[in-house]
Amino acid sequence: MKNHFLISYAGNKRNECENIFNYCKFLLNNNEIDTIIEPFCGSQAFSYYISTLYPKKFKYILNDNDIFLKELYEIFKDDKKIELFVKNIKEKYLTGMNKEKYNNMIKENNIYSYFISHKIYSIRAGLYPNDEKRLISMFKSFDNLSKCNIINFYKNEQIEFTSTDGIEIIKKYNNSKSLIFIDPPYLNACNSFYNESNVNVYEYFFYNKINTFQSKILLCLEKNWIIELLFNNFIKNEYNKKYQPSKKNTMHLLISNF
């Protein structure tokens, strides 16, 4: 799948969606599901992919504790907010941009610094000094922002976007009509995330027995011995993932209760 999202996002599943979908499509084709839930939605690649195959068929519950993702959602589903957002970026940030201004801007910790630093992270790798024309060209798609794929998804589908405890979302939608797709931070790469219990889905599904849930649970996890030990009886598939731009190859596991 081509990049559907507006910014670079670590762990984006767009190149894996077809493989993941092929495993669960029988649920969607047989009308066993009416709601798709992503407690750790990130770039929402899985939900977006489902919507391209089944337009306006499902409700989507998208949750992430990255509060700026929810703010982007609120902006990008409204044309007037998009217009103001683009205007502010161009006038307040892109005009006269240089490395010093960029470094000061990303320290502001607001929706603009979040968006620009994700969009043009390559600045730190040597885009500057003093290359304003190249910088602005990276944002030329802004003129057609309202036509981007993810924005059409936001506008056309029935979506509830939240920024709360991922495990609470899992508990809330534990019913027979829900498909919960879980792509949490990986243990090897993001171990620091697990200082907070609200993201520790590994322990949660192990101790609460994944096979006892009413909802259909589909976990996508990086393969390692801990995951294999915890979910040995529920591993349904594995596939190779090649990261960009590092070219690193890893094995991923699909784990489910169906």
Please give the pLDDT value at position 239: 86
On the question of a cis peptide bond just before residue 184, with omega within 30 degrees of 0, the verdict is no
Q: According to the model, what pLDDT value does residue 191 have?
A: 58
Contact 170, 61 (CB under 8 A): no
Q: 226 versus 98: which is more confidently predicted? A: 226
41 domain residue, yes or no: yes
Residues 108 and 129 in one domain: yes
Which one of 100, 116, 146 terminates a domain? 146
Q: What is the tens place of the pLDDT at every residue in 120-157? A: 654 444 544 445 565 556 555 566 666 778 899 999 99
Same domain, 172 and 250: yes
Per-residue pLDDT band at 93 (split at 50, 70, 90): confident
User: CB under 8 Å to 258, separation ≥6 — which residues?
Assistant: 24, 27, 216, 217
Of 84, 112, 146, the residue that ends a domain is 146
Radius of gyration of the chain from its Cα atoms, rounded to whole angstroms: 19
Provide the pairing of β-strand 235-242 with 158-162: unpaired
- For residues 251 and 242, the answer to whether their CB atoms sit within 8 Å is no
Is 7 contained in some domain?
no
Same domain, 190 and 135: no
Same-domain status, 138 and 200: no
Is 154 among the domain residues?
no
- List the domain range (segments joined by +) for residue 27: 17-65+164-256
DSSP lists the bridge partners of residue 182 as 219
Say yes or no: 172 and 251 in one domain: yes
pLDDT, position 235: 95
CA 40/CA 223 separation, integer angstroms: 18
Residue 205 and residue 250 share a domain: yes
Could you tell me if 126 and 248 lie in one domain? no
Instruction: Tell me the whole-structure pTM to 2 decimals.
Output: 0.87
In this structure, the answer to whether residues 42 and 92 fall within a common structural domain is: no
- 6 located within any domain: no
Q: Specify whether 47 is located in the same domain as 125.
A: no
Q: Can you name the residues that pair with 241 across neighbouring β-strands?
A: 250
Of the residues 146, 176, 193, the one at which a domain ends: 146
Least confident window among 49-53, 64-68, 178-182, 183-187: 183-187
Residue 68 above 90 pLDDT?
yes
> Are 129 and 240 in a shared domain?
no
Residue 235 domain-assigned (yes or no) = yes
| 123 is a domain residue | yes
Q: Is 156 inside any structural domain?
A: no
Q: Is residue 106 part of a domain?
A: yes
Assign residue 201 the CATH number of its domain.
3.40.50.150
What mean pLDDT do residues 216-220 have? Answer: 95
Residues 58 and 79 in one domain: no
Same domain flag for 78 and 100 = yes
Give the number of other Cβ atoms within 10 Å of residue 31's Cβ: 9
Number of domains in the chain: 2
Q: Of the ranges 25-29, 39-43, 115-119, 170-174, which one carries the lowest mean pLDDT score? A: 115-119
- What is the pLDDT at residue 229? 92
Which pLDDT value is given to residue 62?
A: 97
Q: Which residue has the higher pLDDT, 135 or 85?
A: 85
Whole-number Å distance between alpha carbons of 257 and 211: 5
DSSP string, the chain: ----SSS--TT--TTTHHHHHHHHHHHHHTT--SEEEETT-TT-HHHHHHHHHSTTTSEEEEE-S-HHHHHHHHHHT-HHHHHHHHHHIIIIIITT--HHHHHHHHTT-SHHHHHHHHHTGGGGGTT-SS-HHHHHHTTGGGGGGGGSHHHHHHHHSEEEEE-S-HHHHHHHT-STTEEEEE-PPPTTT-GGGGGSGGG-HHHHHHHTTGGG-SSEEEEEEE--HHHHHHSGGGEEEEEEEE-TTT--EEEEEEEE--
Tokens 């591993």 belong to which residue? 235
Across 116-120, 138-142, 254-258, the highest mean pLDDT is recorded for 254-258
Alpha carbon 130 to its chain's center? 33
